[in-house]
């Protein structure tokens, strides 16, 4: 078959040889399919991918929520336990009336350890959301083991006392420890109400 002999006039399409007709039909089908894909199917495929990703995200969220729902009783028990522990810790915070007694306990712990107090200076209390910090600046002199006994004694008190900003330096064969002891007290309901900003 000689392509030069074919009359390429579109009005003579019927007289073209069968292989040429098939080739032209295949080319036209591919062209139409390509245009169709470009104009319509490509957007649909992109949308399909987006929906599949969204579906996977929803499945993951569902699985996480299902896991939480399956462990709901465990979470409730854990919450009760946390509330109990929080209540126990709250009971370790003194109220206003017990603070002077606690300050005496702190100083007695130092004296019982054999330390000499150079400074025992309670500071202004710092109010937080439902409790207040009561910082006490202390400077004590003694031996290493006495300082250890003092800190251990503070940890053993029935009320919470924490030690901050510790600095130890030698002086005349002994050690001088400067620190800020912090104890805490819970605020009563009136104090909590006063601490909240007024509603507009």
Task: Say if CB 163 and CB 151 are below 8 A apart.
Answer: yes
Could you tell me the two tokens for 74?
């465990």
CATH code for the domain defined by 94-193: 3.30.70.60
Alpha carbon of 86 to those of 26, 92, 93, 158, 187: distances in Å? 78, 10, 11, 15, 15
pLDDT in tens, the chain (200 residues): 556 666 666 666 666 677 777 888 888 888 888 877 777 777 777 888 888 888 888 888 888 888 888 778 888 888 888 887 776 666 666 566 566 787 888 888 888 999 898 998 888 888 877 778 889 999 999 999 999 999 999 888 877 888 999 999 998 889 999 999 988 777 766 666 665 655 55
* Length in residues, the chain: 200
Contacts of 151 (CB under 8 A, 6+ apart): 163
This prediction's pTM? 0.50
Which residues sit opposite 138 in a β-bridge? 120, 179
**CB-CB neighbours of 150 under 10 Å:** 24
Domain ranges of the chain: 8-70, 94-193
């Amino acid at each position: 078959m000689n392509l030069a002999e074919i009359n390429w006039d579109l009005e003579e399409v019927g007289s073209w040889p069968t292989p040429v007709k098939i080739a032209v039909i295949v080319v036209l089908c591919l062209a139409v399919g390509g245009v169709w894909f470009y104009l319509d199917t490509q957007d649909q495929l992109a949308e399909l991918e987006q929906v599949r990703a969204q579906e996977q995200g929803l499945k993951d969220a569902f699985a996480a929520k299902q896991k939480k729902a399956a462990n709901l009783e465990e979470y409730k028990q854990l919450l009760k336990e946390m509330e109990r522990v929080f209540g126990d810790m709250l009971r370790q915070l003194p109220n206003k009336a017990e603070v002077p007694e606690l300050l005496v306990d702190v100083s007695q712990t130092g004296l019982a350890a054999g330390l000499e107090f150079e400074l025992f200076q309670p500071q202004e209390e710092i109010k937080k959301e439902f409790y207040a910090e009561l910082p006490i600046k202390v400077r004590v002199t003694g031996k290493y083991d006495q300082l250890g006994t003092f800190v251990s004694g503070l940890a053993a008190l029935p009320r919470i006392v924490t030690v901050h900003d510790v600095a130890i330096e030698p002086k005349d064969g002994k050690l001088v420890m400067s620190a800020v002891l912090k104890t805490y007290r819970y605020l009563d309901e009136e104090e909590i109400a006063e601490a909240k900003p007024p509603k507009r």
